[in-house]
Structure 1
Amino acid sequence: MSGFLALMQQGGLIMWLIFLVAVLQVYLFLQRWFSWPAFEWRSASETTRPALVRRAEQLQASNQLEQGLSLLKALVVITPLLGLLGTVTGMMLVFDGLSLGTAADPRRLSSGIARAILPTFASMAVLLLGMFFLSFWQRRARKSLQGH
């Protein structure tokens, strides 16, 4: 746990925001997992309902299945931007140190650059997680709707 806290401290405030995005993504995934709606589809030959009513039911089911995915999509889009923001602010601190002459030592300079790049690395990992969750639910919704 101390390694995690040290890593988060090195990355700064942006790392905590990226961690919050990851927690939200996992929460949304689990929330969808436990609240996935079940539909009983009947073929068109088994029902006497008009085609318009069947289509309306299919659209309503589609809306239910895609509910909450827009937030997950937004988190996926925001994640790399947070990583970039963390890297830019970190690099600004490195260059500020260079201008003041405090980071002229190559070891300190490389350490500062590594700390600056850390949010981008973390955001890419969280982005992959979010893309997996999003594609999982989109694929599952599409398969459920094809059953109609």
Structure 2
Amino acid sequence: MLVLMEIWESIRDFVGTGGQVLYVVAIALFLMWVLMIERYWFLLAEFPRLSQEIIAKWDARQDTTSWYAHRIREAWISEASEKLDQRMLLIKTLVAVCPLIGLLGTVTGMISVFETMASQGTGNARLMASGISMATIPTMAGMVAALSGVFFSSRLETKAKMVKAKLVDNMPHH
């Protein structure tokens, strides 16, 4: 319990130093990771079953050579592909937005520095340092959030393409 309290205090101090924009970065990061975990779950647990059902329906067809059969095959592959690509655009958008949210923190931190300079002059280095911390920490947090998302979202996209190619290969058209 003491460890959790220490972790909470360090997070609170970090947010206090970095400003309120860090909450927005945290929300974007949390949403991005929830969506990526859901996509991984779909790829590893749900899509194999869906793929087997589509392949079984294709293998059960008498006609696999006519124009109509090819259109049905394309439709089933398209539906599966659409399910694979669900929420990927939202994940990519969240990855792209994280650094921009960090830049918002930079702007608000610099405004704080300029307000301090205007009211206190340039002699109060301690107040200026807190504004500079508010300017740099959100930028760093936004970049770290985006970097974690870039790697895993690209892996997720590659895995989805591989699974789709495997589905297409398992539905031969004669």
Distance in 2, matches of 1:107 and 1:55, equals 65
Note the alpha carbon deviations across 1:52-111, whole angstroms, 9 max, x for none: 211111111110001111221221121111111111011001111001125523344234
Q: CA deviation at 1:27?
A: 0.9
- The gaps in structure 2 that reach 5 residues or longer are 1-6, 169-174
The one-letter code of the counterpart of 1:63 is E
Cα distance in 1 between the residues matched to 2:156 and 2:41: 13
Q: Which amino acid letter does the alignment assign opposite residue 132 of structure 2?
A: I
Pair 1:3-2:10 in alignment? yes
**What count of residue pairs does the alignment treat as equivalent?**
146
Asked whether the equivalents of residues 80 and 124 of structure 1 are also in contact (C-alpha less than 8 Å), the reply is yes
Read off the aligned partner of 1:18 and give its amino acid letter.
V
Q: Distance in 2 between matches of 1:10 and 1:18?
A: 14
* CA contact 1:76–1:130 (8 Å) conserved in 2: yes
Contact 1:94-1:103 within 8 A present in 2 as well? no
Offset, 1:112: 2.4
Deviation at 1:123, TM superposition (A): 0.1
Which structure dedicates a bigger proportion of its chain to helix? 2
Q: Report the AA paired with residue 113 of structure 2.
A: V
Structure 2 counterpart of 1:67? 86
Counterparts of 2:36 and 2:130 in 1: how far apart (Å)? 36
With the length of structure 2 as denominator, give the TM-score of the two structures: 0.75
Q: Please report the RMSD computed on the Cα atoms of aligned residues, expressed in angstroms.
A: 2.1
Q: Which residues of structure 1 form unaligned runs of 5+?
A: none
Q: Tell me, in whole angstroms, the C-alpha distance in 2 between the residues paired with 1:81 and 1:30.
A: 23
Q: Alignment partner of 1:35: what SS? A: helix
Code of the residue aligned with 1:122 in structure 2: it is A
Q: TM-score, normalised by structure 1?
A: 0.87
Q: Between the two proteins, what is the percent identity of the paired residues?
A: 30
**Equivalent position to 2:137, from 78, 94, 118:** 118
Residues of 2 paired with 1:22 and 1:51: CA distance? 42
Q: Give the CA deviation at 1:33.
A: 2.4
C-alpha distance in structure 2 between counterparts of 1:114 and 1:10, whole Å:
6
CA distance in 1, matches of 2:75, 2:131: 57
Structure 2 residue 77 is the aligned partner of structure 1 residue 58:
yes
Give the structure 2 partner of residue 101 of structure 1. 120
Structure with greater Cα Rg: 2
